[in-house]
Each structure stands twice: as C-alpha cells, then as structure tokens.
Structure 1
Amino acid sequence: MLVAFWIALRRPVDARIATALDRVDERLIGLTERIEAAAPAPSVGPSSLDMIGSTIDLDEVLGRALAAVGALPAVDGSSIRVNRANGEVSVAIQGCVRPEDAPFLTGPPDGAPFKAGMMSWDTEETHALRSGLVVPIGPDGTGTLAVYSRIANAFTQDSAALLTAIARHAGPAIQNAFRLLDVQNLAATDTRTGLRSALAFADELPREINAARRHGRPLCMIQVDLDDFGLINRTFSQETGDAVLAEFGERVRATMRWGDTAYRNSGGADEFFVILPDTTRALAKRFYGRLAFEIAEEPFGEAGTLTMSGGLAELRADDTVESLTARTGALVTRAKQAGKNQLADDSTP
C-alpha cells in the first residue's frame, strides 16, 4: 500500500521538481558568477538539489538538505526545523551546532512572515559562532533552514538567495515525507479506539523487549478483555459497542504514564494490550488498579457500568514475543474462569 502511495505521490511532484530545478539552475548560474570574485563557488547544483527530493523519508530529506547547505561558503554549522500539522517538530543539525541550540534561528519572534533573517554575535571566544542566516521553508510555516559561521558578517544577500533556493527545493520533499508519515500513522492507529493498532503492536513489542534487555530494565505487559462485551452489541447495537470502545480508549489513555503504550488486538474487538516499560510487577498492578477504577467509575452510556479481566506478565530472561503474549492470554483466561472482573498475574502458578 505504501509503495503504491509513494508512486502516486511522486508522479505530480516530478514535474514540479523538474520545473523548480530549471529555475534554481538559472539562479545558481548568476549567483555563482557574483560570488566567484570573493570565494570559491559553492557546489550546490542540480545533482545535490535533486538528491533532496529523491526520498520521502523525513530524516533523509532533512539530512540531504543540510548536506546541500554545507556547500555554501563560510558555513560552520546548520540546522533545519520543520513542523507537522499535528504539532510534532523535527530538528536536524550539522557541524558545530549544539543539539539544545538547534532551533535558535527560527525567524521573527512574533511569528511574522519573512524572506530571510541575519544575525550577528559579538563574542571573545576564539571558535564561537559570530553570524547566522535563516530562511523559511514553505509559505505556510513548514519550518526554517539556518546556517551559522565563525566569521563575522559572513552572509550576504547572495547567501540568502542560495539558501532560499535550497529551502524552496526541500519544501515539496518535506511535504511528501509528511504525507508518508500520515499514512504510516493511520496504519498504526486503531480507528475505533484511537489506541495503537495490532500492526503497530507486532512492530513495537520486539523493540520494547530488546530495549528492556539492553538497558537491564523491567518490562511488564497486560492483556485486558472487557467482560461480556458481546452482550452490548446484541442487546443494544453495534453503534453502541463502537461508542463503548471509543470511550474505553479515552480512559486507557487518561490512565497511562508517558512511555506506556496501549494497543487493540485485531483478533478480538474487546481485547487490548498495554506495554509498560521500566515497570515492575508491583507497579503494573497499581496501574491496573487505576485503570479498573477508571472503567468502573462512570457508566459507558446506555451500556452501563462495565468490568474487565486482565492478565499481567513480567518479562523473563527466556521470553520471546510469542511466549510473553501467550502468557498474558492464558492469564486472562484464568481471570475469566475465576469469575471475571479481576487481574491474574504470573507471580503464582
């Protein structure tokens, strides 16, 4: 699906890139002639610019944009900052820019539209940065592209024009990368609950297990089944059942800590997994208690008050993805057989 999306996405973009390259070529020829007298010509040409748009991976697009920027004269560092519509911010840096200072040059502090901005710093430090240049990426606030130099007043209007050409070329590639991330996020999100999907669970659980072992930290996983969920669809309607699932997803998200992740199992409408990194069995039991309280505190609309059964397993040295998942499933079954509305954990046989 993603391959087909990528192909469809590229077709209209190719024509725009070809046209943009022609315009950039003309500008670069004139700018290079003017810069030659003062410094060696920057090697920002069609090949390096075309590399920016030859991928739709966001990290690669940002890295290639910085690689093109590095060809400008007197550049000792660079940064690029882009903003997605959902509020996520991505930053890439190169050269002598410190990670904590990468977003320093982001345009006017009042957020007003701008074409380019130059700054200078008076410092006695031998290797300190003394000048900076920033240009916007895209007309809609997509982000900013900035360069820095240890030379005072290193950047000119010609530098601004070159940087603007690179930013304009990077803009469509960044938007294409955003679209790919949107598609990937859609596939990783369960539409009924807003929790992560079974596809995301299969991809992310192995990573969480590897991270726990690499850092020597505990990890717990809980499987949760809503008790008698099938009766809701039969007694009321599927729409009522969907509303219950959506509300359940909201209550789970309200209970989780930062770093915890919840998933809906595609194999069962009322089956969920919660991965709790850096969490012992005792802390995982507390989490389950808070979640059980959230579920029982308020009725789920016309479906009324619900209960749930859970299975809690702590990662063992010999666990695999399959064994950990199988153990939580068996524990849920034990909880249901014991009368439902309770948690079974693997601390006892």
Structure 2
Amino acid sequence: MKKLKTTKKVLQLILDSTLASLIMVDLEGKIALVNSSAEMTFGYNKKELLGKPIEILVPHPLRQQHVKNRKEYLIKPEPRYMGKGRDLRGLRKDESVFPAEIGLNPLTTEEGLFIICTIIDITDRKKAEEKLVESEKRYRQLYEGSLDGYVLVDMNSRLLAFNRAFQNMLGYTEEELFLLTYAKRTPKKWHAMERKIIKEDVLKKGHSEIYEKEYLKKDGAIIPVELRTYLVKDNAGKPAGMWAFVRDITERKKNEEELQHLQDHVKAEKRKLEQVLNIDQRISSILELNHLVDFVIEKATQILEVEKCSLMLLDPESQELLIRGAVGLTNEIIKSTRIKLGEQIAGLVAKEGKPLLINDIEFDKMISRKNRSAYKTKSFLSVPIKLHNKLIGVVNVSDKKSKRHTEFTEDDLKILSMIIRQAAIAIENANYCRKLEYLTTVDPHTEIYNHRYFIKALDQEIHRSQRYGRPLCLMMIDIDDFKTYNDTHGHPQGDHLLKEVSRILKGTCRIVDIVCRYAGDKFVVIFPETDLPQAQIVAGRLTNALTNLNVKSKITACIGIAVFMKTSDRRDLILKADQALYRAKKKGKGEICW
C-alpha cells in the first residue's frame, strides 16, 4: 500500500508539473487524480472533483453520449493523441462551455487500469482561426503575439513568412531562416510522411489534422513539434502556398516519456514481485541443501537479471564464508574462496548482519577500491542469510545485464532480501530434514553416510553435474589386508580401525565432499566440483594419512578414481571406480589408479 501511495505521489508531481490540464480516470469513469492546470481550466478544486464521474466536466446534452463513448473506448484502450477524434466541449464549474482538445493515454498500475486525459482549452485557437478569416489586422496581432510558431511557405516549401516564435524555436537569424531549405530544417525521416499529408489532406480538404514532426535547430538539436497545415489559394482559386501554427512539444514529450518510464517500472516491479511470491510454493518443497542452493541462485539470477551470483555459507568451526554454489564464477574461485568475517564485501555484510547496496565500488565510502577485471560493472548487492538473528551465510549478486541501467536499486535490494528471507526458512527446514534423515542415512558404526545415502547422493550430484556442466569425481577406497588385521587383533580392533579410517576420510576431504561406507572395509567419496588432478591430490593425502595412522599395526589402502562423463550414468561411474580400484589392488598395496 505504501508503494501504491508513493506511485500516486509521483504521478501527482508529474501531473502538476505539466502545463496542460491532466485528469486521471478509473475504469468506472471516476476522477482519481487532477493537476493544478485542470483546476484552473474547469474552476474546481481537487476535493470537488476527486471521486466524481468525469461527466461532471461534460456539457449536459453530451453526457449520455460521453458515457457510451467512454465504454466503447475501454473495450480496446489505446493512446489517442491531441486532435485525434471528435470535436469536444468542456463544462466549467460556472456552467460555461468551452471547446477542448483531448488526448487519451492508458496507464496500468497495481490498482488497475487508469486513463490519463490531456485536456487543452482551445477557445483562443478557435477564435483565432475565425478572426484570421475576418480581419487581417487581428490576424497580424495574433501572428506577432502568438507563443506558438507561425510559418508561411510556397508550394515548394520555401519560407515566405514566419513569426518571432518560430524563429526563436529554430535559433536562426531572420536572414538565415529565409535561406534555409526544407531539407535543412526537417529531418529526412519526415519528408515522405509530410508529402503524403499535403497530397491527401491539405490539397484535398484545405487543411490537415494536427500531426507531429521534428525540426532541426541551428545548433544541431532536434525539437518535436505539432502543427496543422492550411492551404492558401490565389485569386484564381489555385494553391499558392501553405501556412501553419507550430507548437514546440518538447516538454510534453518529456512528460510522456516519464509517464511511460514510470509505467514500465511499475510493470517490471510487479513482474519481479510475482516471481518472488511464486518462489515460496516451490522452495518449501526442496529439502536437499545442494538443490536448495542451486534453486536460490537460479531464481536470484533470473529475477534480478544478473550474470554473477554466489551463495556462501558460514563454516561454524573456522568462522569463514565458503561458496556453496555460484553462477558466473570459475571453479578455481569457488574452491579457493574463504572469507573471514569483516573482510571484503561479503565478510563485512556477514559481520554487520545488514544488506549492502554498492552503486559504484570505486567511489563507495565503505569499500572504495578499484573494480576487479572479472566484473563488468561496478555495482554490487550483498545480503546476509539470517534466521532467528543467527548468521547462516551471504548471497552476492553483480553484473546487471541491463545495458541502460547497470546500477542496482533499492528495489533490487528489497527483491533480493525477500528471496533470502524465504531461503533462510527453507535452509532451516532442509537442516531439520537432514537431522531426521541422519538416522536412516548414517552408518551407526563409523558415523559416516551408509550405502543407501551414497546411491541417493550420487544420483543427485550426477544430475547437478549434467545440468550445470560441473566436474564430478568418485573415489573408492579399500583397506589392504583388513581380514588379516581383524583376525590378528580381534574384531573390536577391526571396528576401531574402520572408525579411524572414517575419521581420516572426513578430516582430509572438504565439507561439500560426501564420504560414505560402501560395504565392509570399502569406502567411497563423492567429490562435487572436482576434476581428476584435484582428486589425485586428495588421494595422495589419504594414503599418507592412513600410513601414519596410530593403530595396532601399520595399514595401507588402495584407491580407485573415476571421472564422471556426460554420457555416463550412476552404474557406469561406480563400475569405473571399482575397476580402477581393482587395478590398484592388482599393482600392490597403497596404490592409486584412475
């Protein structure tokens, strides 16, 4: 509601800044907004008009027909510019009637469709047209004193006469203007249209309707004008020339553009809001954290129309922000980024717990640093993910796709904050589900994931890798001579060894890696966002750590590594890892194959 009130205030300011009389009418024909010029034109004040039917401003004999015309117009509302349509009359508060020219422009807001009516009292113009015929003297007075431009040309469009208003409009001296050809005062794109108007209207009917075109000024600027052209005949009744009143409509065009921009902005914000509201229906059903992260990134990227988005989660042990998912960032950045609280933009937002909008990073008072080459624009948004005043993480967006507006706005910040609030609740739900699922997915003996969870997680990571084109590796580990160790030192020691191996696996791998007990003394690790060289490094660390394990006797383990290919499926990936492990076992103890 606050937003609607703000929109009305903006509209009222725009309407009041316009010299023409402007009235906004709803679908029922009731007056919703009135500008100051309209008050002066009709003799009413705003309070007397607001909420009243528009027919209060129509002469009594015309009201019934006006209601019918209004309903017909609303069947297919479209812009109707000044001079287009019927000859109309307006009724003032004092019951006096005046001729009027009306332009109509539909405006869609969150309250519905409204019609902006531009009303010009053309009493003076009507009288002027009549007096021009009746009296040369009166014509000269109007000619010299008119605020609009006046121009007289021959049938080849050479200037024969003009008033000072027209001269000032184009910025030339009198001598320069007489020498100016039609092509030099009118842009080429209007030539064909004006020839057609002269041929089909002026020569046949004696005058044209009011139409719009542009003039070229002396300084090279282009000004929009509206005019109506009349035919001048000689004593023999043959066409001798044409004359026209020319009105500079620069301000009107500016106001129309502002109104259109406002209308486009309202539509865009409405569309974004609808998208955000639709998120709630989908996000509440996502209970797996990785899928939830991908969904939040995808929606934030779509709605805000950005190229880069990252979701970072806080590691409770190191108190560092780690990238859990991202779009537009390289794998190297995703894996290596670790931000402490208070450092960089995300760290500052996490520490303060408040969202941050940066219009230009190079001139921002808080950040003020040179923009990095990886970013196309200098504007950033960063919003903390909080639940019950507890920090969960941070979402960052950058590189707005719009070529016209590259800076983020307060509205963008509000939209992202709405998305994050829904994401925080969904993350909490996902965490609850993870705790419940723990009882059925964790091996109670080693306290790592069991085979059931391994199959489910592998399917999910394969789908994720296929969808986003991310690397994925699977590692299979088998303890060498475990049966001998178990028989020699007893089953309790064998159980203890399995727990220690599980501990080493979890300690060596990342938080995002998925460590599972496959069967007996076999273990598997799913490595999201990991290519073969990175997996080989981890395998080397594992073999060294297992060799130095403090147990009853020295142990080793063989490792097989498989890299996921787009054409593979779960069965193929497991088979490749098992075959690699088989080759490692065949080579000897403590071997690694891929």
TM-score, reference length from structure 2:
0.35
Q: What do you get for the CA RMSD once the two structures are aligned?
A: 5.9
C-alpha displacement at 1:48, in angstroms?
Answer: 1.6
Q: What is aligned with 2:278?
A: 51
Q: Distance in 2 between matches of 1:296 and 1:165?
A: 51
SS at 1:228 equivalent: helix
SS at 2:346 equivalent: coil
Which amino acid counterpart does residue 68 of structure 1 have in structure 2?
I
CA deviation map 1:206-246 (0-9, x unaligned): 96xx99xx9xxx9985533523354489x574xx5543322
In the TM superposition, what are the counterparts of 1:23-38 in structure 2 within 5 Å?
26=1, 29-30=4-5, 33=8
Distance 1:251 1:63, change over 3 A: closer
Checking the alignment, whether the CA contact within 8 Å between 1:82 and 1:91 is kept in structure 2 is yes
Residue 129, structure 1, aligned to residue 412, structure 2: no
Residue 90, structure 1, aligned to residue 317, structure 2: no
Checking the alignment, whether the CA contact within 8 Å between 1:313 and 1:327 is kept in structure 2 is no
Q: From the two aligned structures, give the one with the greater strand fraction.
A: 2
Q: What is aligned with 1:143?
A: 394
Q: What is aligned with 1:16?
A: none
Checking the alignment, whether the CA contact within 8 Å between 2:477 and 2:557 is kept in structure 1 is no
Checking the alignment, whether the CA contact within 8 Å between 1:129 and 1:151 is kept in structure 2 is no
SS at 1:120 equivalent: coil
In the TM superposition, what are the counterparts of 1:1-349 in structure 2 within 5 Å?
26=1, 29-30=4-5, 33=8, 39=262, 40-41=265-266, 42-44=269-271, 47-53=274-280, 54-55=282-283, 56=286, 57-70=292-305, 79-85=309-315, 88-93=322-327, 105-106=345-346, 108=348, 111-121=351-361, 129=377, 131-138=379-386, 139-141=389-391, 142-144=393-395, 146=397, 148=400, 151=405, 155-156=409-410, 160-177=413-430, 190=443, 192-193=445-446, 197-199=450-452, 201-202=454-455, 204=458, 223-225=478-480, 226-231=482-487, 235=490, 237=492, 241-252=494-505, 263-266=516-519, 268=520, 270-272=521-523, 278=532, 291=543, 295=546, 297=548, 299-300=550-551, 304-305=552-553, 307=555, 342=589
Structure 2 portions without partners, runs of 5+: 15-257, 287-291, 364-370, 564-570
C-alpha displacement at 1:59, in angstroms?
Answer: 1.0
Single out whichever of 305-314 and 44-53 deviates more from structure 2: 305-314
C-alpha displacement at 1:254, in angstroms?
Answer: 6.6
Q: Distance in 2 between matches of 1:275 and 1:313?
A: 10
Distance 1:110 1:132, change over 3 A: closer
Checking the alignment, whether the CA contact within 8 Å between 1:28 and 1:162 is kept in structure 2 is no
Q: Distance in 1 between matches of 2:572 and 2:428?
A: 38
Aligned residues: 284
Distance 1:137 1:287, change over 3 A: closer
Q: Distance in 2 between matches of 1:248 and 1:50?
A: 47
Q: Distance in 2 between matches of 1:312 and 1:120?
A: 49
SS at 1:52 equivalent: helix
Which amino acid counterpart does residue 228 of structure 1 have in structure 2?
T
Checking the alignment, whether the CA contact within 8 Å between 2:450 and 2:518 is kept in structure 1 is yes
Q: Distance in 1 between matches of 2:509 and 2:412?
A: 49
Distance 1:345 1:274, change over 3 A: same
Q: What is aligned with 2:65?
A: none
Which amino acid counterpart does residue 348 of structure 2 have in structure 1?
P
Q: Distance in 2 between matches of 1:183 and 1:271?
A: 26
CA deviation map 1:57-79 (0-9, x unaligned): 32113322333334xxxxx6663
C-alpha displacement at 1:322, in angstroms?
Answer: 7.3
C-alpha displacement at 1:258, in angstroms?
Answer: 12
C-alpha displacement at 1:311, in angstroms?
Answer: 8.5
Q: Distance in 2 between matches of 1:137 and 1:32?
A: 30
TM-score, reference length from structure 1:
0.52
Distance 1:271 1:330, change over 3 A: same
C-alpha displacement at 1:188, in angstroms?
Answer: 6.5
Which amino acid counterpart does residue 227 of structure 1 have in structure 2?
K
CA deviation map 1:159-209 (0-9, x unaligned): 5445544443443234445556777788776554465543465464996xx
SS at 2:311 equivalent: strand
Q: What is aligned with 1:14?
A: none
- Greater Rg over alpha carbons, structure: 2
Checking the alignment, whether the CA contact within 8 Å between 2:560 and 2:581 is kept in structure 1 is no
Checking the alignment, whether the CA contact within 8 Å between 2:276 and 2:415 is kept in structure 1 is no
Checking the alignment, whether the CA contact within 8 Å between 1:80 and 1:144 is kept in structure 2 is yes
Structure 1 portions without partners, runs of 5+: 1-25, 71-75, 336-340
Distance 1:312 1:185, change over 3 A: same
Distance 1:135 1:189, change over 3 A: same
